[in-house]
Amino acid sequence: MKVAVVTGASKGIGRAIAKALAKEGYKLALGARSVEMLEELSREIGGAFYSYLDVSKPESVAEFAEKVLKEFGGVDLLVANAGIPMGGRLDEVSEEDMKRVFDVNTFGVWRTIKAFLPSLKERKGTVVVVTSYISTMILPNAGPYVASKWAARAITKTFQLENPEVKFIELRPGKVDTYFYGKPGRKIEEGFMKPEDVAELLISLLKLPEHVLVEDVLFRSIY
Ligand code: NJP
Q: What is the pLDDT of residue 135?
A: 98
Q: Is 148 in the pocket of ligand 1 (CB under 6 A)?
A: no
> Structurally, how many domains does the chain consist of?
1
Give the bridge partners for 48, in sequence order: none
Q: What is the pTM for the complete model shown?
A: 0.99
Q: What is the rounded CA–CA span in Å between residue 27 and residue 18? A: 10
pLDDT per residue over 205-214, tens digit each?
999 999 999 9
Find the CATH number of the domain harbouring 13. 3.40.50.720
Verify whether ligand 1 is closer than 6 Å to residue 52 (CB atom): no
Q: What is the pLDDT of residue 110?
A: 99
* C-alpha distance from residue 4 to each of 60, 120, 136 (Å): 18, 10, 28
Residue nearest to atom 29 of ligand 1 (CA): 8
Confidence of residue 177 (pLDDT cuts 50, 70, 90): very high
What is the percent of the chain where pLDDT is above 90? Answer: 100
pLDDT of residue 117: 99
Please give the residue range of the domain that contains residue 28.
3-219
Counting every residue written for the chain, the total comes to 223
DSSP annotation string for 32-65: ES-HHHHHHHHHHTT--EEEE--TT-HHHHHHHH
Instruction: Give the Å distance between the CA of 12 and the centre of ligand 1.
Output: 7
Q: How far apart are CA 69 and CA 48, in angstroms?
A: 14
Among 127, 180, 192, 193, the mutation site with the greatest number of ligand 1 atoms within 8 A of its Cβ is 180
79-97: pLDDT as tens digits: 999 999 999 999 999 999 9
Does the annotation mark 145 as catalytic? yes
pLDDT band at 37 (very low <50, low <70, confident <90, very high): very high
Distance between CA atoms of 35 and 208, rounded to whole angstroms?
33
CA dihedral sign, ordered 191, 194, 199, 204: negative
Whole-number Å distance between alpha carbons of 217 and 136: 12
Is the CB–ligand 1 distance for residue 123 below 6 Å?
no
Q: What are 125-147's pLDDT values in tens digits? A: 999 999 999 999 999 999 999 99
CA neighbor of 120 nearest in space, from 169, 82, 154, 84: 169
Band (162; pLDDT cuts 50, 70, 90): very high
Task: Quote the CA–CA distance of 5 and 98 in Å, as a whole number.
Answer: 27
**Residues 23-42: what's their mean pLDDT?**
98
Of 26, 50, 133, 145, the catalytic one is: 145
Ligand 1 centroid–CA 211 distance in Å is 30
Count the Cβ atoms, other than its own, within 10 Å of residue 220.
Answer: 15
